[in-house]
Amino acid sequence: MPAATCKAEFARIDPIDPALGPPLRERLKPDQPFCYGRDYDAEHLGSHPDQLTQSIRVFRGPVELASFAKEGDPANWPSGADIAVSVTTRQKSAKVTQVYNCQGEGDQWRCAASAKTGAASCDIGQQEVFLRRGANGTMMLANPNSGLPIIDLCSAEGDTMSDDKVYRLEPMPQAACGL
């Protein structure tokens, strides 16, 4: 089928909501760093006892920008872009960071865990997270299948069992992501 036919069908079954603003591929540029995140206070965590995440950051810093500049194709942005996700959980006060390689899919990014961080001793390429635009400049992160480093990615399988499935992340200063 012609590409225009496929695009029209996709737009019919998954219409773009203009209230959410431009897609991430337009908001976020291939040569610019970004930092999004959220910190959960004791009150929120008390009302969500099955949530493990205390703090989460999604970012592209100098390392991720250099990787895309070397190997990426700006014409196919965001395909091939690396992002980093840092998480602090209730169980561990230390921050854990995982790199993901993203592909553009409609108006979302599908990001698979990458072995670039070297922490995993198994094939973690099936561990995925999804990024979507949110209202008022926010970013939504979906974690449907235990793709975040809140648990050992080597032992993760199946649906996310905790309340750590969807995050609404706010734009933050780069310093909040350690950039």
Q: Could you list the pLDDT tens digit for every one of the 179 residues in the chain? A: 788 887 777 667 666 677 788 889 989 999 999 999 999 999 999 999 999 999 999 999 999 999 999 989 999 999 999 999 999 998 877 899 999 999 998 778 999 998 765 555 566 667 899 999 998 999 999 999 888 888 776 666 667 777 888 999 999 999 999 98
Q: What is the pTM of this model?
A: 0.85
DSSP state of 126: T
In degrees, rounded to 5, the angle at the alpha carbon of residue 122 between the alpha carbons of residues 117 and 126 is 85
Alpha-carbon span 80 to 100, nearest angstrom: 10
Cβ atoms of 122 and 41 closer than 8 Å: no
At residue 153, the pLDDT reads 67
42 Cβ contact list (under 8 Å, min separation 6): none
Alpha-carbon span 83 to 127, nearest angstrom: 14
HEC-encoded secondary structure of 29-97:
CCCCCEEEEEECCHHHHHHCCCCCEEEEEEEECHHHHHHHHHHCCHHHCCCCEEEEEEEEECCCCCCEE
| Tokens at 69, concatenated | 């500049």
| Tokens at 55, concatenated | 């703090």
Alpha-carbon span 26 to 62, nearest angstrom: 20
At residue 159, the pLDDT reads 73
The distance from CA 25 to its chain's CA centroid, rounded to whole angstroms, is 13
